[in-house]
């Protein structure tokens, strides 16, 4: 086991922290050289569990990690395409939305292209502990890694994403029979693709629809049934007026709004991100149902306005109890496999909640610049990315605001450093990643 010190530690090498790494390299090169990004996986893969071959991003390629902040950056998606010899071909597609797998390639390319910020793989953070000074002030943080090493830092940025939402009713089922969308590509490969499995897909938005289509492709003899609470599938709310609420400039408006206004904004924006499907997905799925009915195969099924109120096992069957919202009656659906397109937890990730408990915080509150209010004097600081929807708006977990947010965090850290210079000058003398 070894201990190292850095000035800034970023947990997770997803889009949020890679955008931060780019901002550091361009805006604060000295701090960038003292920054470490740790990633638990062995590489960078965007939406690892649902990296389906033909899935498209729902966001313009211009909303990459940097272009909206610095359109001349070498880290842009267009420069990535140019470096791969694909710029002409991409332009010829005539589309603003790349394939999801292409965004994933771009993210790995950015991680590989960083010159000052170091990215380490296969070393997930297992625990985080605040470090206190003699007067109780927070002076920094210690991160424990999966290999037993520890890393000390003054600034900690958590951008590891939200946790998968597995509704409680499914948690008692055998784990091998339930697959959340975040694990789909890995788990589905473990199944016998030739078995005529009965598959229940739970959810009524984009991830559930993608799971339904993926099951038809990956389990060609399966009989899938889609189960949702809503009256049917709907397209995203995507008017240009609504999309202005995804501007990075709108974060100020949302942050300054009253609690009632925030709730209204989030409720009305639900279908713009969570409660709808991309038009191509919606049309393709309807055509699959149309063909199934036209040929009389009755292979595909959809159950609307239904709640899964109970689950059980009966021999080899998984038994779901469905409550009909229209009639109040219940029925049973027997299946072999449950696919969950149920999204992500709204609450803070456990890693953040545990830090809050260690600090004695009643709630996790962040400033406009994403810094956690520690409730005490501090020469260290903690920042959260992608989990601040309640205070910063519905775009917080999306690509839309990455470039602007990364600059705001960088600028806030630089100001904090200037306001709280290290007492002994160690931050200026220690080399990055110095071993203790």
pLDDT digits (tens, 9 = 90+) for 65-119: 999 999 999 999 999 999 999 999 999 999 999 999 999 999 999 999 999 999 9
Contact predicate 23/419, CB 8 Å = no
pLDDT higher than 90, residue 26: yes
What share of residues in the chain are helix, strand, coil (percent, to 5)?
A: 35, 25, 40
Q: What mean pLDDT comes out for the span 229-236?
A: 93
**Is residue 338 pLDDT above 90, yes or no?**
yes
- The reported pLDDT for the residue numbered 111 is 98
- Dump pLDDT digits (tens) for 376-391: 889 999 999 999 999 9
SS3 120: strand
Res 426 pLDDT > 70: no
pTM of the shown model:
0.93
Average pLDDT, the chain: 93
Which pLDDT score, from 0 to 100, does residue 159 have?
A: 95
Percent of the chain with pLDDT over 70: 97
Candidates 4.10.910.10, 3.50.50.60, 3.40.50.1370, 3.40.30.10; CATH matching 168-236+275-340? 3.50.50.60
Q: Indicate if 168-236+275-340 has the same CATH topology as 3-163+345-435.
A: yes
Q: Which two tokens stand for residue 82?
A: 């140019």
Q: What is the pLDDT of residues 181-223, one digit of tens each?
A: 999 999 999 999 899 999 999 999 999 999 999 999 999 999 9
Measured CA distances, 368 to 253, 373, 389 (Å): 11, 11, 12
- pLDDT-based confidence at 423, cuts 50/70/90? low
Tokens of 373: 């209010």
pLDDT at 433: 46
* Residue 422: band (very low, low, confident or very high) from pLDDT cuts 50, 70, 90: confident
In the structure encoding, which two tokens stand for residue 108, read together? Answer: 């790995």
pLDDT for res 1: 78
pLDDT at position 429: 33
pLDDT category of residue 52 using cuts at 50, 70 and 90: confident
Q: What is the CATH number of domain 3-163+345-435?
A: 3.50.50.60
Q: What pLDDT, on a 0 to 100 scale, did the predictor assign at position 261?
A: 97
> What pLDDT is recorded for position 424?
44
**For the residues 18-42, what does the mean pLDDT come to?**
97
| Strand, coil or helix: 396 | helix
**DSSP structure string for 186-239:** HHHTTS-TTS--EEEEE-SSHHHHHHHHHHHHHSTT-EEEEE-SSSS--B----
Residue 60 has pLDDT above 80, yes or no: yes
Domain ranges of the chain: 3-163+345-435, 168-236+275-340
pLDDT of residue 272: 86
Q: Rounded to whole angstroms, how far apart are CA atoms 201 and 226? A: 5
Residue-wise pLDDT for 271-330, tens only, equals: 888 888 999 999 999 999 999 999 999 999 999 999 999 999 999 999 999 999 999 999
Predicted local distance difference test score (pLDDT) of residue 270: 87
């Amino acid at each position: 086991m070894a201990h190292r010190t850095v000035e800034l530690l970023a947990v997770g090498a997803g889009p949020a922290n890679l955008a931060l790494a780019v901002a550091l390299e361009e805006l604060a090169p000295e701090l960038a050289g003292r920054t470490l990004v740790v990633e638990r996986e062995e590489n960078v893969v965007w939406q690892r569990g649902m990296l389906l071959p033909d899935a498209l991003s729902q966001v313009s390629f211009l909303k990459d990690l940097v272009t909206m902040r610095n359109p001349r950056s070498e880290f842009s998606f267009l420069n990535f395409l140019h470096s791969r010899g694909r710029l002409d071909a991409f332009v010829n597609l005539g589309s603003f939305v790349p394939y999801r797998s292409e965004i994933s390639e771009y993210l790995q390319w950015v991680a590989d292209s960083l010159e000052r910020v170091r990215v380490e793989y296969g070393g997930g953070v297992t625990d985080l502990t605040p470090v206190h000074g003699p007067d109780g002030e927070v002076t920094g943080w210690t991160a424990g890694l999966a290999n037993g090493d520890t890393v000390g830092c003054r600034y900690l940025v958590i951008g590891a994403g939200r946790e998968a939402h597995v509704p409680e009713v499914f948690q008692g089922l055998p784990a091998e029979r339930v697959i959340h969308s975040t694990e789909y590509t890995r788990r589905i490969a473990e199944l016998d693709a030739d078995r005529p499995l009965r598959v229940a897909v739970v959810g009524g938005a984009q991830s559930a629809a993608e799971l339904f289509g993926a099951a038809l492709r990956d389990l060609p003899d399966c009989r899938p049934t889609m189960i949702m609470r809503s009256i049917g599938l709907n397209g995203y709310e995507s008017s240009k007026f609504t999309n202005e609420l995804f501007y990075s400039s709108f974060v100020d408006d949302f942050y300054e709004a009253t609690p009632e206004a925030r709730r209204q904004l989030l409720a009305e924006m639900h279908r713009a991100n969570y409660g709808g499907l991309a038009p191509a997905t919606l049309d393709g799925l309807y055509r699959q149902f149309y063909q199934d009915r036209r040929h009389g195969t009755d292979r595909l099924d959809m159950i609307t306005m239904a709640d899964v109120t109970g689950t059980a096992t009966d021999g080899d069957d998984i038994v779901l109890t469905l409550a009909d919202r229209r009639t109040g009656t219940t029925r049973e659906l027997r299946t072999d496999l449950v696919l969950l397109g149920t999204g992500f937890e709204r609450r803070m990730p456990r890693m953040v909640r545990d830090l809050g408990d260690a600090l004695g915080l009643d709630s996790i509150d962040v400033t406009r610049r994403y810094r956690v209010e520690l409730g005490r004097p501090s020469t260290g600081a903690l920042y959260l990315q992608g989990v601040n929807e309640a205070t910063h708006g519905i775009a917080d977990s999306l690509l839309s605001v990455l470039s602007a947010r990364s600059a705001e965090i960088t600028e806030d850290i630089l100001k904090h450093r200037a306001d709280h210079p290290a007492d002994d000058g160690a931050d200026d003398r220690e080399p990055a990643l110095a071993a203790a």
